[in-house]
Structure 1
Amino acid sequence: MVERLPLSAHTSYAELMERLRLGRVSEYPPGSSFVSKTVKGRVYWYVQMPTGGAQSRRQVYVGPDSDDLRERIARHGEHRADHDDRRRLVAAIIASGAPRPDRTSAEIIQALSVAGAFRLRALLVGTVAFQTYAAHLGVRLPVTSLATMDLDIAQDFGIASNLDDTLDRPLLEVLRELDPRFAPVSYAFNASRTTSYALGERYRLDVLTTNRGAPRDEPSYLPTLGSDAVPLPFMDFLLRDPVETAVLHGGGVLVNAPSPPRYAVHKLIVSRDRKVNPEKGLKDRQQATQLIRALAEDDPYALRDAYAEARGRGEAWRKLLDEAVSLLPEDARTVLEG
């Protein structure tokens, strides 16, 4: 049985998302203008800062063309988000039962947002992304599925290679402005490359990307984030068709996260790909089960479409999915196989 958040939480979350989305294109200084560029047949939007000042050095990437983005651009300047009002909305959503991230994760996500990571189409993945689905779907999530001491961000390699924009400063600098003790962690297979950043044994940020071709040990460099990243199998499936969600911190932070159906199916796959770590595999299946139950009521067709797509990726994918599904509670199995 899925336990729902109260209707007031849905209303507050919808208002918060509207304010955050409008705020993303209203945060530029007066006199800014928006221009479109066509790259390989696709249209992308950039904002041109007014001449003079530190921000006039380049155009800033806004996002791929869509009806929603064009509407936001048309309303540029109409809405200046009131931070105090947004804080009240966030507090009301949390009071209704939606989870907030731990303080370290929240501060890192806020800093990444200010530096431009989510504008550049980076995604939160992993448990902190899963936390945002509570308010996004309007459901309560069990505390056992939410504990984490790390943060995963990811970006599609093709996007990172083709965007004509970068973070305001390298990722390590962003982190060290929060805490100068942040240190780069050498990649396991190449000590000269850095794909993770750590606060001793207390906290770790991992940077991930899509795997281009056969399994590989060498990291990929993401120029948008100014960091190396670990290329992982199955990541292209997870990162396709992301959604916007809000991290419940301060006045809210607008982020990108995998679509909940893809997140659920991906968690099933990696739960069996992690045979060396049964505890993490169990947590993966717990998160998948919670989303499957929620989506069974809200969007069963999207869930089954994602499941069918993954099964169509080949025998190796089907084997992992079959193993994972066999370990799910009966109601969750029925949803996927019905």
Structure 2
Amino acid sequence: MIQRLPFSASNSYAELIERLRLARFGEFPAGSSFVSKTVKGRLYWYVQLPTGGDYSRKQIYIGPDSDDLRERMESHGEYRADVEDRRRLVAAIIASGVPKPDRITGEIVALLAQAGAFRLRALIVGTIAYQTYAAHLAARLAISSMATQDLDIAQDFGVSSKIDDELERPVLEILRDLDPRFAPISYVFDAAKATSYSLGERYRVDVLTTNRGAPRDAPSFLNALGSDAVPLTFMDFLLRDPIETALLHGAGVLVNVPSPARYAVHKLIVSRDRKVNPEKGLKDRLQAAQLIEILAEDDPFALRDAYAEARERGEAWRELLDQAVSLLPHTARAALEG
């Protein structure tokens, strides 16, 4: 049975998200303006910074054209410095039973956000993304499926290549602001490159991206993030049509994560692709089953659309899905196939 959060928590979360969106646009200095560029027939928006002074970069990428983005640009002048109010909202949401990230995760994500990672359309994927769905979906999620000591950051390779902007500094330098002991981990197929960064045995950050063509061993360099990344099969499905959620750290951090429906279906696929690690596969299916139960009630069409799209990707995808679905509770199977 789904355990729902109180309405007060849902209202606090909706207010927090709106304030975080306004805060992102309120960070630009006085005299900034918005300009657009058309790339391959699609419109993208940038902030034109005032010239002179401390501003070495003239333009900052803020996203592809959309009605929502235009509304935020129009309300740019309404921003208020409300950090303490946002802290109170975060505290109220956590008090309702929503999980908060551990300190290291929260501080890393806050540093990445400050450097522009999520403005540049990077996503959090994996268990940390799953944690944010509790407040987003107004439902309690099992704590047993949230344990982690790592953070997965992903960006579509095509997006990274097309954005005419980049992080203020490479990922490793940002991590070392938190702890100078963060060190690159040599990529298994190319010791000269690193797609992961670790703090000894305490914590690990992995950078992931979409696979281009046939499975490949060589890492892909993400220009926008200044890091090599592991190209993974199925990642393009996961990263399409992301949503914004709030990481409940400090005054809240606005992040991008996969849509819950795509996350659930992707977890089903990789739960069977990871045959060498049954424990990880079980955790993946537990996360998927909980999201399926909630989405079957809240957004069944998005769930079934994501499931149908994955099945249309080919026989290999269908085989993995069939294996995973056969292990789900009857109610979850019915929600996907009904």
Q: Shorter-chain TM-score category? A: over 0.9
**1:177 corresponds to:** 177
- The question of whether the paired residues in 2 share the 8 Å contact of 1:27 and 1:80 is answered with no
How far apart are residue 105 of structure 1 and its match?
A: 0.6
Counting aligned pairs with the same residue, the percent is: 75
**2:272 corresponds to:** 272
SS of alignment partner, residue 173 of structure 1: helix
Mapping 1:247-326, distance limit 5 Å:
247-326=247-326
User: d(CA) in 1 for partners of 2:137 and 2:55?
Assistant: 37
SS of alignment partner, residue 169 of structure 1: coil
How far apart are residue 57 of structure 1 and its match?
A: 2.4
User: d(CA) in 2 for partners of 1:56 and 1:132?
Assistant: 35
**2:229 corresponds to:** 229
User: d(CA) in 2 for partners of 1:146 and 1:77?
Assistant: 38
**2:215 corresponds to:** 215
**1:22 corresponds to:** 22
Could you state the TM-score of these two structures normalised by the residue count of structure 1?
0.99
SS of alignment partner, residue 55 of structure 1: coil
- The question of whether the paired residues in 2 share the 8 Å contact of 1:6 and 1:96 is answered with yes
How far apart are residue 306 of structure 1 and its match?
A: 0.2
How far apart are residue 53 of structure 1 and its match?
A: 2.4
How far apart are residue 56 of structure 1 and its match?
A: 4.0
How far apart are residue 23 of structure 1 and its match?
A: 1.1
User: d(CA) in 1 for partners of 2:55 and 2:281?
Assistant: 45
Mapping 1:23-38, distance limit 5 Å:
23-38=23-38
Deviations 1:45-96 (A, max 9, x none): 0001111223242310011100110011011121124000000000000001
User: d(CA) in 2 for partners of 1:171 and 1:152?
Assistant: 12
- The question of whether the paired residues in 2 share the 8 Å contact of 1:311 and 1:321 is answered with yes
Deviations 1:109-137 (A, max 9, x none): 00000000000000000000000000000
How far apart are residue 321 of structure 1 and its match?
A: 0.1
How far apart are residue 26 of structure 1 and its match?
A: 1.4
Change (3 A) 1:294 1:81: farther
How far apart are residue 25 of structure 1 and its match?
A: 1.1
Residue identity in the other structure for 1:7 = F
How far apart are residue 250 of structure 1 and its match?
A: 0.5
- The question of whether the paired residues in 2 share the 8 Å contact of 1:49 and 1:56 is answered with no
**1:330 corresponds to:** 330
User: d(CA) in 2 for partners of 1:58 and 1:100?
Assistant: 36
**2:128 corresponds to:** 128
**1:77 corresponds to:** 77
Deviations 1:266-314 (A, max 9, x none): 0000000000000000000000001000001100110000000000000
**1:7 corresponds to:** 7
User: d(CA) in 2 for partners of 1:239 and 1:55?
Assistant: 32
Deviations 1:4-53 (A, max 9, x none): 00000110000000001111111101111110111100000000111122
Residue identity in the other structure for 1:207 = V
Residue identity in the other structure for 1:325 = V
Structure 1: gaps spanning 5 or more residues: none
Residue 241 (structure 2) pairs with residue 241 (structure 1): yes
The number of equivalent residue pairs is 338
- The question of whether the paired residues in 2 share the 8 Å contact of 1:20 and 1:81 is answered with no
Mapping 1:106-185, distance limit 5 Å:
106-185=106-185
**1:189 corresponds to:** 189
- The question of whether the paired residues in 2 share the 8 Å contact of 1:35 and 1:47 is answered with yes
SS of alignment partner, residue 191 of structure 2: strand
Could you state the TM-score of these two structures normalised by the residue count of structure 2?
0.99
- Identify which range, 233-242 or 56-65, moves more after superposition: 56-65
Structure 2: gaps spanning 5 or more residues: none
Change (3 A) 1:260 1:81: farther
Deviations 1:167-186 (A, max 9, x none): 01111110001100000000
Residue identity in the other structure for 1:236 = D
- Identify which range, 54-63 or 242-251, moves more after superposition: 54-63
Which stretches of structure 1, 4 residues or more, deviate above 3 A after TM superposition?
Answer: none
SS of alignment partner, residue 306 of structure 1: helix
User: d(CA) in 1 for partners of 2:122 and 2:53?
Assistant: 27
